[in-house]
Amino acid sequence: MKLRNTNWNYPTTIWFGAGRINDLPLSCQKMGIKKPLLVTDKGLVKLDIIEDAKRILKEAGIDFTVYSDVQGNPTEANVLNGVAHYAKNGHDGVIAFGGGSAMDAAKTIALMSGQSRSLWDFEDVGENWTHADINGIAPIIAIPTTAGTGSEVGRASVILDEKLQTKKIIFHPKMLPGIVIIDPELTVGLPAHITAWTGVDAMVHAIEAYIAPGYHPMAEGIAIEAIRMIAKYLPRAFNNGSDLEARGQMLVAASMGATAFQKGLGSVHSIAHQLGAIYNKEHGLLNAILLPYALKQNKPAIEEKMGYLSKVLELQKHGTDAIIEYILQLRKELNIPHTLKEIGINDDEAKRIGKTAFLDPSTPSNAMPLNADDLEKLFRAAVKGDLNSL
Ligand SMILES: [Zn+2]
């Protein structure tokens, strides 16, 4: 496939192509934003890609400021400080620039920029979102710099509640960015291990959405194609970071994974959310380690779907075991460890993790019903590396 500039409007307006970052001023104009707040994270703020974005805005005569006090797992304080910065400088829109952390923080700052209620009032429970003042939500432009989270096409964010040591999902339909700029040149400098972790996260989104129960052929179709694209292009992007075609395809596949997971996620995310909150480890890395164990545990419920997926991936054998074998091989190729123990997580907190994972919003959409004991068992297996215990 030759990369060329393309625009489409599903599930939101997407401007795709190498060098499309140059259209950032145009996107502000289209969204009616005159003074954007550019939100990014602490690591990114020092990089050339941010300097370029700032230069492009300056040259277009757009007045803006930058907010980058965002941790890897963004917290309530990161959001509230951002809201204060937004108000103090008189902004009228948000540019979410970065990976999942920056984008989730940015989207939440946009939500909270004009609300009188507190942040946790908008946790994704029941009809909470209907209590938001819709006119108090700032317009959002999103520019992903990793191919994983897909937060650029999502209507929710994950924010850490430090008091309860738990991650909460904040949701509002207007948190969906109005314009997304997908520019593969922005991910060229991404280190190989981040490429691997975020890329497998995107794959997990697509796999968990595909095997989630429920009737949603649209989401399943998108999920299957995303998995196929990631299987093809992730090793290429990992081995050669400058491969623009692979970078572009991975960015689009990550957006597709997030589009698909409106259908639901599953036990990989249920547990990864808890471990991210307790041990402050990277979300993608946790998911990448957990994936084969979750597939093994779900095997009774997913055999038929895994049979189809293995044909799509042109594997020699078909079924869940074949997919697990494929994932183990892919992980090896991407230098991803096989056990949680290797990244310093032991099973001291297994009971608690089983219980809180059960309450995670991803659990009800797991491929088959799981209780807290099942999730504890899954976690223990991933700590030890014992696929056969499941
Ligand atoms: Zn994820």
pLDDT tens, position by position, 327-384: 999 999 999 999 999 999 999 999 999 999 999 989 999 999 999 999 999 999 999 9
Can you tell me the mean pLDDT for 180-202? Answer: 97
**Distance (Å) from CA 272 to ligand 1 centroid:** 8
Q: How confident is the model at residue 165 (pLDDT cuts 50, 70, 90)?
A: confident
Question: Residue 89 Cα, ligand 1 centroid: separation in angstroms?
Answer: 33
Phi, psi of 49 (to 5 degrees): -65, -30
Tell me how far the alpha carbon of residue 25 lies from the centroid of ligand 1, in angstroms.
30
For the stretch 23-75, pLDDT in tens is 999 999 999 999 999 999 998 988 999 999 999 999 999 999 999 999 988 99
Q: Give the C-alpha distances (Å, rounded to integers) separating 187 from 3, 42, 72, 219.
A: 15, 17, 18, 26
Ligand 1 centroid to residue 87 C-alpha, Å: 31
Give the integer Cα–Cα distance in Å for 46 and 275.
Answer: 28
Q: Residue 273 Cα, ligand 1 centroid: separation in angstroms? A: 9
Say how many Å lie between the CA of residue 276 and the centre of ligand 1.
11
How far, in Å, from the CA of 35 to the mean position of ligand 1?
Answer: 31
Copy the structure tokens of residue 80: 């509230």
Please tell me the distance from the alpha carbon of residue 335 to that of residue 21, in angstroms, as a whole number: 31
Is residue 312 very low, low, confident or very high in pLDDT (cuts 50, 70, 90)? very high
Q: Model confidence over 68-127: pLDDT tens digits?
A: 999 988 999 999 999 999 999 999 999 999 999 999 999 999 999 999 999 999 999 899
